[in-house]
Structure 1
Amino acid sequence: MTDKELDPALQKIVAAQATGEDEEDIEIPGWWVERLHAGYRQMLKIDKLLYDSKTKEQRIRVFENPTFGRVLTLDDILQTTERDEFIYHEMMAHVPMLAHGAAHSVLIIGGGDGGVLREVVKYRAVGRIVQVEIDAEVIEFSKTYLPMISDGAFDDPRYELVVADGARYVAEAEETFDVIIVDSTDPVGPGVVLFSEEFYRNCKARLAEGGVIVTQNGVPFTQADELVHTMSVFRKLFVDHTCYTACVPGYAGGALAIGWGTNDTELRAVPLEVLKRRYEAEKLKTRYYTPEVHKAAFALPKYIKDLIP
């Protein structure tokens, strides 16, 4: 699409905004527009639309982009891309797993693309991995359209899929887990409940002694309320509550925050040399995560640190 073709579409949006009309439904041919934040838009060129289907839960789309490769969106909010997914998934999985050091059971809530699962199955000591996904179609189409993300992890014999609401699962389950990874969407639509205080309290009840929970908490620069809320609840629930960050290019607005909650204060303080030994013992192959990055990720910029009560 040329600049001359793009200009009329943008002019429509500007005109709608000027008259107070709703510009949410204005399409820009050949482009995907993320309207997650008020007054801020992210656009990605659609070279080829591979999948577009609206389930009873959400609208799922996959398309190819010249910069990010294959792109997955849910309800027109970017979830992951082929080019940068490794950053998000490695930091969501390896930070809690290597900090714990002896996890035998892992609960993944969400994460239908299989990226977090792909990293968790690398740990030989893990005997059970439960993934709770509200929409089974997300997993099925991820296997078809984004197989490079799960990389065969769905076939691991330790893996168990539960198709259910994550909030209901942690409220009703009885077993506990060493590590809980909440790989949720943003607090929009079905994802809202996964940011509630009740959900977090029930997650704590599912943590084994010495366990740790990590949560997707958006980009603090544009979604400060999301992190403030989670950290306010974590302050009530955990002795050690904070977040760490990762820079994921596809997530507009700056560094991504990943919430951290545990009652074992030793986990965040694991020495660098110990993390290195654990990393090498697992023979991990990563593209973003390193033990040094692990330690540095908890050193927060002041604007983020100020959001943590």
Structure 2
Amino acid sequence: MSGGLVFNETLYPGVEVNYGCDTILYQDRSEHQDLVLFENPVFGKVLMLDGITQVTTADEFIYHEMMAHVPILAHGAASEVLIVGGGDCGMAEEALKHPGIERLTQVEIDGAVVDFSKEHFAEFNAPVFEDERFDLVIADGARFVAETDRRFDVVMVDSTDPMGPGAVLFTQEFYRAVHRCLKPGGVLVTQNGVPFLQREELVGSIRHFSKIYKDAYAYVAAIPTYFGGHMALGWATDNADLRKVPVDELTRRFEAAGLDTRYYTPEVHAAAFALPRFILDAVKDGRSNAG
């Protein structure tokens, strides 16, 4: 199907983002959400869930590299990693590039999204399904972290925005459950939107982090798909030294892992924690409202 169609994203009040559509590749409704995949001349394949852009083949590497490599290399000895969400499996693909990871568990609520992504995003996720370290669990992520007896070095929450089924992944109860299943010195990273347009999303998460973790912060990446400037990635850990690892040590770890990246570098890693003032103010507001 083709003919100059346009898909509109209206995630941000007062702003509408239009994607030209060359071809609709797939459109359906699963048990949990509306799903459409289409071709765009700039972004390649574009996946939208409930009218909100989730991933594109052109720039997925930025988000996935920064969300996976920053916590894993900052930790320095991660062997057990958990992804909550991330149905396109791009996050898993990046994380599994680290030879030190012994098992990567991904908990995704909607198995149809994983099946769909395996078929349509093989250009970046095919290695995941051939890796014996990949442990896919189709379940509610909030329930999993509340009930599991396993412990993890790194937890990455690759969620939709805080609405619908993704809303529970932005609650204090969820973050506390994650803290319960982190090993000592472990780290949590989260998707926290575009602060210029979604400030309260970041403030709210930092507020919750600050009540549970010793170090509540954020880092940023510039991702073209997510309109509005920097995207914020939440950061929570009991080891404040993890976000201050020197560049030379990050470089040593990066080279030892044998990573081949298109956005991430050790220098970008360190610089990502140097927040623009308006984002730093949002972090400070979250911390000050934590009491």
The bucket for the TM-score relative to the shorter chain is: over 0.9
Q: How far off its partner does 1:149 sit?
A: 2.5
Q: How far apart are the structure 2 equivalents of 1:249 and 1:141?
A: 24
Is residue 94–residue 289 contact of structure 1 (8 Å, CA) maintained in 2? yes
Matched residue, 1:75: 50
Q: Deviations over 1:240-268 (max 9, x none)?
A: 11000000000011110000001112211
CA distance in 1, matches of 2:239, 2:21: 46
Give the C-alpha shift of residue 236 in structure 1: 1.0
Given residue 132 of structure 1, which amino acid in structure 2 is its aligned partner? V
Given that residues 114 and 154 in structure 1 are in contact (C-alpha distance below 8 angstroms), is that contact kept between their aligned partners in structure 2?
A: no
Separation in 2 of the partners of 1:143 and 1:163?
A: 14
**Aligned residue type for 2:65:** E
1:245 aligns with 2:189: no
Structure 1: 4+ residue segments shifted above 6 A: none
* Equivalent-residue separation in structure 2 for 1:167 and 1:273 (angstroms): 37
Given candidates 173, 183, 186, the residue that maps to 1:208 is: 183
Question: Are 1:110 and 2:85 an aligned pair?
Answer: yes
TM-score of the two chains, using structure 1 as the length reference:
0.90
The Cα of 1:154 is off from its aligned counterpart by: 2.2
- CA shift, 1:30, in A, is 0.5
> Equivalents in 1 of 2:108, 2:124: separation in Å?
16
1:41 partnered with 2:16: yes
Structure 1 or 2, whichever has the larger Rg, is 1
Q: Secondary structure at the match of 1:187?
A: coil
Inter-partner Cα distance in structure 2 for 1:46 and 1:198 = 40
Q: Which residue of 2 aligns with 1:194?
A: 169
What secondary structure does 1:243 align onto?
strand
Q: C-alpha distance in 2, partners of 1:188/1:154? A: 29
Secondary structure at 1:306's aligned position in 2? helix
Tell me, in whole angstroms, the C-alpha distance in 2 between the residues paired with 1:148 and 1:59. 23
Matched, 1:178 2:153: yes
Q: What's the counterpart of residue 21 of structure 1?
A: none
- Give the distance between the partners of 2:126 and 2:159, measured in 1 at CA: 20
**What's 1:291 paired with?**
266
* 1:231 alignment partner, one of 182, 203, 206: 206
Aligned residues with identical type, % of pairs: 52
SS of alignment partner, residue 129 of structure 2:
helix
Counterpart residue number, 2:254: 279
User: Which residue does the alignment assign to 1:261?
Assistant: 236
Q: Distance in 1 between matches of 2:243 and 2:218?
A: 11
Residue segments in structure 2 that go unaligned for 5+ positions in a row: none
The residue type equivalent to 1:102 in the other structure is A
Measure, in 1, the Cα distance between the counterparts of 2:70 and 2:101. 15
Aligned to 2:264, the other structure's residue is in SS state: coil
| In structure 2, distance between residues paired with 1:148 and 1:258 | 25
Question: 1: CA distance between counterparts of 2:18 and 2:112?
Answer: 26
1:133 to 108, 123, 142: 108
The count of corresponding residues between Structure 1 and Structure 2 is: 282
CA deviation map 1:208-256 (0-9, x unaligned):
0110000000000111110000000111111111000000000011110
Normalised TM-score (structure 2): 0.95
Residue identity in the other structure for 1:164: A
Q: 2:144 is matched with which residue?
A: 169
Q: Secondary structure at the match of 1:222?
A: coil
Amino acid at match of 2:107: V
In structure 2, the partner of 1:153 is: 128
Aligned positions of 1:22-41 closer than 5 A: 30-41=5-16
RMSD: 1.0
